[in-house]
Amino acid sequence: MNLPKAPADAALINVDMTKDFLPGGALAAEDGLEIIPVINWLGDMFETRVWTKEEHDEHHDFFASSHEGKTAMVDTVETEYGTQYLWPDHCVIGSEGTEFHEDLNVGEDDMIVIKGTDKTIHAFSAFLMDDRKTVITYPDGKTMAEKLEEAGVTKVFVTGLLKDFCAGLTAVDAARAGFETYFVEDASKSLGLPTENGLTTIDVIEDLFEEAGVKVIDSSQVPGILASMSPATPGFNKGFKPS
């Protein structure tokens, strides 16, 4: 099958496909290795590919190890912006857990975005801190939206880990920033942690997808969607619009 090439204004954003989020890692998604071939297959269709990764201080405030007697992914802490889960130590700066899995086709010219470097607040999304209002500014002085704009991107296809945290919130924030956003369901995995009223984090992110206008698709739909897209429109400009 001859795969279509994405138009110049479409990007593939692969979220947090690093060793600590894959089997054998500190915060592993069950069966996470299954999505690597899907992501590689999708990547062959895109000229613009973005990879996000986390790099945390070893004493991050939202590691359970920073709170005596607390258990990761069970206990929570209260912040001024709501209840937050505590996590096992993961993606510590300089550790193997921050590395992309060796079976991923990460190109030399692909965009690499490192988030989570502030030890006082988590950053699931590549666009916003977890207070859900502070826009992340990267070391080059640009936001995620600005990086995409500079590359001429108007449409994004999001994959990776985890649907109900980093990958899902990146998709939500991309849509809220004005990008036409697709979330590739079979190129992601979830944790499904409990929340209020008997719901899980999967229920929460799916509600956010609907509210933000994220289009949830299967990877098999991507070639057809790309083939139907018009070429990029010059002069594109966007700005982030927090909810």
Provide the token pair at 150: 């500079």
Tokens of 32: 């996470």
| Secondary structure (3-state) at 146 | helix
Catalytic residue among 16, 20, 130, 164: 16
Cβ atoms 2, 160 nearer than 8 A: no
Based on the number of CB atoms within 10 Å of its own CB, is 19 exposed (0-12), middle (13-18) or buried (19 or more)? buried
Annotated active-site residue 91? The verdict is no
- State the Cα–Cα distance between residues 153 and 217, nearest whole angstrom: 19
* Annotation marks residue 115 as catalytic: yes
140 is catalytic: no
> Which residues make Cβ contacts (< 8 Å) with residue 142, sequence separation at least 6?
150
Annotated catalytic residue, options 19, 166, 173, 189:
166
Tokens 């209002």 -> residue: 133
Q: Which residues does 98 contact at the CB level (< 8 Å), separation at least 6?
A: 18, 19, 20, 53, 54, 55, 91, 92
Among 19, 53, 115, 189, the active-site one is 115
45 token code pair: 């269709």
- Catalytic residue annotation: 16, 115, 166
